[in-house]
Amino acid sequence: MALRFLPDGVENAANRDRIADAADVLGGSCTATPEGRLIAVENAPQAWPVYGRQPLRGMATLVLGNERRGVSRAMLAAAAETVVIPTAPRTITTLNVAAAAAVAGWYILHGSGPQARATHPASRRPAVLLSGDDHVEVGSSLRSAAAFGITELFLDDRGAGWFDGPHAQRREARAAARWHKNPLRVHRALPGLAERFDEIVVISPGQPGRPLRRQRLTRGRRQLVVIGVAPEQVEATAGSRTQLTTLGLGHPERAPLRLWASIALAEIARQAGRPPAQQPAPSPRPPTYDRDLKLAADGDLLILDPDLLLSY
């Protein structure tokens, strides 16, 4: 199997570079022309969720669209399939285009079960600790967290300057996070945080561990999922409560945080689920009466002049 990535009108050079990184760590490459089956990533009416697929067989080209306009009409018309990355129905409804490339590419390559259905998915989501030293990568990862329904998150800010960085750096980080409409609450990770949880799952891009799709991530607030911290750092404090999980990416040392963090957050969202589809409300019953209404005969009507009523 082989997956090519085709940036369709992606304007930002940094986004194009990160899409190339996504292709690299997922064992694919970038291309300017479709090769094999064409799969578009777009929030379109005809799109199918990227969850619940069989692993890719053969060759395919994944099309990623412009940051504002999305995939072009020509590419959508040529695509054999259109997929959408399900997001929570909140103010952040899209991912950074490179993060979307990583998430869509991951699930198309590996396949997965469908997204779970749960009456209260928020109670199934674990707590999340994110750690990073690049302000744009941290910001883009926080955007993904909000899009996948995370409402609050702990941040170990290792020099990214999210809390205390220079004004220009903080402005760039918040722009990457779409902070003007991002409802996510970010808490500073303090020493001893891991002691509050019964289970700690440390996710890495490529170190040894249980495959991500086999790791249960639905233990709610008793479980802490750690993204961006080296496993040995957590094991030193959490010991036997720590479980190591891996995405198994190629060249993990070259994987930007936003790419593999977004895959991990997408898997949390897939397992935690979304509420069942609401049934449409039944149509109201027509009114009922004790007896039928009948028109009165002409002789039974009394017609009043308005002037007579005003004289009272």
pLDDT digits (tens, 9 = 90+) for 163-178: 999 999 999 999 999 9
Pick from 252, 62, 54, 93: which is nearest to 182 by CA?
A: 93
Q: Are residues 82 and 143 in the same domain?
A: no
Residue 9, domain member (yes or no): yes
Q: Are residues 128 and 263 in the same domain?
A: yes
Q: Are residues 29 and 56 in the same domain?
A: yes
Residue 237, domain member (yes or no): yes
Asked if 34 contacts 6 with a C-beta cutoff of 8 angstroms, the reply is: yes
DSSP state of 181: G
Structure tokens at 83: 């997929």
Residue range(s) defining the domain that contains residue 71: 2-110
Q: Are residues 72 and 181 in the same domain?
A: no
Residue 296, domain member (yes or no): no
Residue 245, domain member (yes or no): yes
Q: Are residues 105 and 137 in the same domain?
A: no
Position 190 confidence tier, pLDDT thresholds 50, 70, 90: very high
- End-of-domain residue from the set 110, 142, 168: 110
Task: Supply the mean pLDDT for the chain.
Answer: 90
CATH assignment of the domain containing 264: 3.40.1280.10
Residue 283, domain member (yes or no): no
| Alpha-carbon separation of residue 244 from 53, 158, 207, 238, 259 (angstroms) | 25, 21, 9, 12, 19
The arithmetic mean of pLDDT across residues 52-58, rounded, is: 95
Q: Are residues 102 and 148 in the same domain?
A: no
The number of domains in the chain is 2
Position 290 confidence tier, pLDDT thresholds 50, 70, 90: low
Q: Are residues 98 and 136 in the same domain?
A: no
Q: Are residues 189 and 260 in the same domain?
A: yes
% of the chain beyond a pLDDT of 90: 78
Q: Are residues 190 and 232 in the same domain?
A: yes
Position 240 confidence tier, pLDDT thresholds 50, 70, 90: confident
Q: Are residues 231 and 267 in the same domain?
A: yes
Q: Are residues 172 and 218 in the same domain?
A: yes
- Between β-strands 127-132 and 37-41, what pairing exists: parallel, antiparallel or unpaired? unpaired
Residue 301, domain member (yes or no): no
Residue 105 reports pLDDT greater than 90: yes
d(C-alpha 275, C-alpha 254), whole Å: 36
CA-angle at 264, arms to 262 and 265, nearest 5°: 65
Residue 303, domain member (yes or no): no
Residue 278, domain member (yes or no): no
Q: Are residues 136 and 105 in the same domain?
A: no
Q: What is the largest CA-CA distance in the chain?
A: 99
